[in-house]
Structure 1
Amino acid sequence: MTARIYQRPKNAMQSGKARTSDWLLEFERSEAQRPDPLMGWAGSGDTQAQVTLSFGSLDEAKAYADKYGIAAHVIPTPPKRLKLQSYADNFK
C-alpha cells in the first residue's frame, strides 16, 4: 500500500488562500479502472483510492504514514510565482 503526500492546491475558482495550508495523504490505485458494462462509468474494486486524509502539517502526515506502515512519498509544493503587471500593459 503506497500513498502520496502533497499540499492542497488553490482552486481555480478561489481568490483567497483558505485550506491551502492543509497537507493531504492519498492512497495510490492498486488496480486499473475498467468501464462498467451497463452504464459505461469507470470503476474498480479498489476502495483505498477513495480515501483522502487531511493534516495540518507535513510532519503530521509523515508521522501518520510511519505509524501505520504506509510507504508514502512527498510531492513538493511548486513555488508560487507572481506575474507583476500594470494596467497600462494591456494597451501596448
Structure 2
Amino acid sequence: MSRSGIARIYVPPRSAMTSGRGRTHVWVLEHELAEAKRIDPLTGWYGSGDTEAQLRLRFETREEAVAYAEANGIPYEVEEPKPKAPIKPKAYADNFRFGRGENWTH
C-alpha cells in the first residue's frame, strides 16, 4: 500500500469560533493529493480519483499515528505543534485597581 505522496501527521489547531480546548489533543494523519483535481465535464464540479486524500485519521498520541503509518507502509512527515503561550488569568477588578499602569479609556 505504498504511495507516491507523503502523509502529514500533525495536531490540528482549535477552531477560531470557540475558546474551548476540546479536541485539541488529538493527532491527525492526512494524505496529500496523489493526482491533481480536475473539472468534471458533466457537472462542472472539481474532483479526483484519489480517495485516500479524503481520509483524516485521528489518533490519541503521536506514537500511534507514526506506528499506523509505518505498519501500512505510508511515507509520512511529522509536524510538531508550536508551544502554546501561557494563559495569564485576568479579573474584571483589575480594570479598577489602584496603581494601574495604563489610563482608563472608553
TM-score bin, normalised by smaller chain: 0.7 to 0.9
Cα deviation digits, residues 12-44 of structure 1 (max 9, x gap) = 112110000000001111001112223322111
Q: Which runs of 5+ in 1 are unaligned?
A: none
Structure number with bigger Rg:
2
Tell me the SS of whatever aligns to 2:57. Answer: strand
The alignment of Structure 1 onto Structure 2 pairs a total of residues equal to 92
Q: Which residue of 2 aligns with 1:23?
A: 27
Aligned-CA RMSD value: 2.6
TM-score under structure 2 length normalisation: 0.73
Given the alignment, which residue of 64, 67, 74 partners 2:68? Answer: 64
1:7-46 matches, within 5 Å, as 7-46=11-50
Q: Which moved more, 1:74-83 or 1:39-48?
A: 74-83
Q: Give the Cα separation in 2 of the matches to 1:29 and 1:90.
A: 53
Structure 1 pair 57–83 and aligned structure 2 pair: CA distance change class (3 A): closer
TM-score under structure 1 length normalisation: 0.83
Larger strand share, 1 or 2: 1
